[in-house]
């Protein structure tokens, strides 16, 4: 972190306010990603953010990285900022990581327990992995590849919170033999943009993926996240996600791609 910024000094605060205005004028950004905020006094941010919002005459989305598994610390920090910013949901990342290495013994019903997205969904930025958790980094806790589609479905198709996709997952990290998920994530982007509307109902169960009466229903077997999309008017669109009732028609080419991906997924399950 290097720099010792004395936020007890009014001259320092004034300079940070001046810098923030200069940065907005120079870049015209719509928000800030703040690194290592645990080293920054939380009571600094309400005045700083509100002042910059007044100056720019727009709402500035601001997210901070507070790396801690201790949910109480994250909640206390949010409270001290008067909830003027969001935090990355580090506890959820570790739930994903533990689930991916548990050899099927993780209770999926508790995947959102002790997380920001459960307790403070409006101030949570959810993510699966990032540059700090990839192999070889100090905070290495890379979610196993088999689990990543489920993890991304859980953050991208929820009604609340803001999901963040890792560049290394989307494009891959060739030097570390990590494959790109671009093809799958592009489908997820389309599902989120065109079909993730309406009331959200989440089902977690021990499921074998067996279809009953034309739908996926819970059946005892290995632990798995049962994920389903429904679309009235176009028939059932089944995919690994949360049940969503949708009210607006999607562009036909998008619907066809999602339906095709869903059909392949169901076919694979039947073959298994």
Q: What value does the CA radius of gyration of the chain take, rounded to a whole number of Å?
A: 21
Angle between helices 182-194 and 148-156 (to 10 degrees): 20
Of the residues 53, 65, 75, 200, which is catalytic? Answer: 65
* Catalytic residue (choose from 35, 159, 245, 270): 35
- Among 147, 234, 235, 237, residue whose Cα is nearest residue 196: 237
Three-class SS state of 186: helix
Structure tokens at 30: 């719509």
Round to whole Å and give the CA distance between 109 and 88. 22
Start-end of H helices in the chain:
10-27, 45-56, 71-80, 90-100, 116-119, 148-156, 167-171, 182-194, 252-271
Instruction: Report how far residue 146's alpha carbon sits from residue 103's, in angstroms, rounded to the nearest whole number.
Output: 11
Q: Could you confirm whether 134 is annotated as catalytic?
A: no
**Strand bridging mode 162-164 / 124-127:** parallel
CA 266 – CA 164 distance, rounded (Å): 27
What distance in Å separates the CA atoms of residue 49 and residue 156, rounded to the nearest whole number? 27
Is 72 labeled as catalytic in the residue annotation?
no
- Tell me the C-alpha to C-alpha distance, in Å, between residue 176 and each of 94, 171, 183: 21, 12, 19
- Output the CA torsion 126→109→67→156 (10° steps): -10
The enclosing H or E element of 147 equals none
Residues designated as active site: 35, 65
């Amino acid at each position: 972190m290097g720099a010792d910024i004395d936020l007890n000094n009014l001259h320092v605060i004034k300079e940070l306010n001046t810098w923030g205005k200069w940065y907005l004028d120079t870049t015209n950004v719509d928000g800030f990603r703040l690194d290592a905020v645990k080293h920054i006094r939380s009571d600094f941010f309400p005045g700083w953010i509100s002042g910059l919002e007044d100056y720019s005459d727009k709402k500035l989305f601001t997210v901070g990285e507070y790396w801690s598994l201790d949910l109480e610390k994250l909640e206390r920090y949010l409270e001290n900022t008067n909830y003027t910013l969001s935090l990355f949901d580090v506890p959820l990342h570790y739930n994903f990581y533990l689930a991916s290495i548990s050899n099927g013994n993780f209770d999926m019903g508790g995947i959102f327990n002790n997380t920001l997205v459960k307790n403070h969904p409006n101030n949570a930025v959810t993510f699966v992995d990032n540059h700090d958790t990839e192999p070889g980094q100090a905070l290495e806790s890379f979610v196993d590849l088999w689990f990543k589609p489920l993890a991304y479905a859980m953050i991208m198709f929820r009604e609340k919170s803001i999901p963040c996709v890792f560049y290394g997952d989307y494009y891959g990290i060739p030097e570390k033999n990590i494959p790109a998920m671009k093809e799958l994530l592009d489908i997820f982007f389309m599902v989120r943009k065109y079909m993730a509307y309406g009331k959200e109902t989440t089902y977690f169960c021990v499921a074998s993926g067996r279809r009953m009466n034309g739908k996926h229903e819970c059946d005892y077997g290995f632990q798995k996240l049962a994920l389903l999309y429904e679309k009235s008017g176009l028939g059932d669109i089944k995919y690994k996600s949360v049940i969503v009732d949708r009210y607006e028609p999607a562009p036909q080419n998008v619907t066809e791609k999602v339906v095709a991906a869903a059909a392949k997924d169901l076919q694979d399950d039947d073959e298994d």
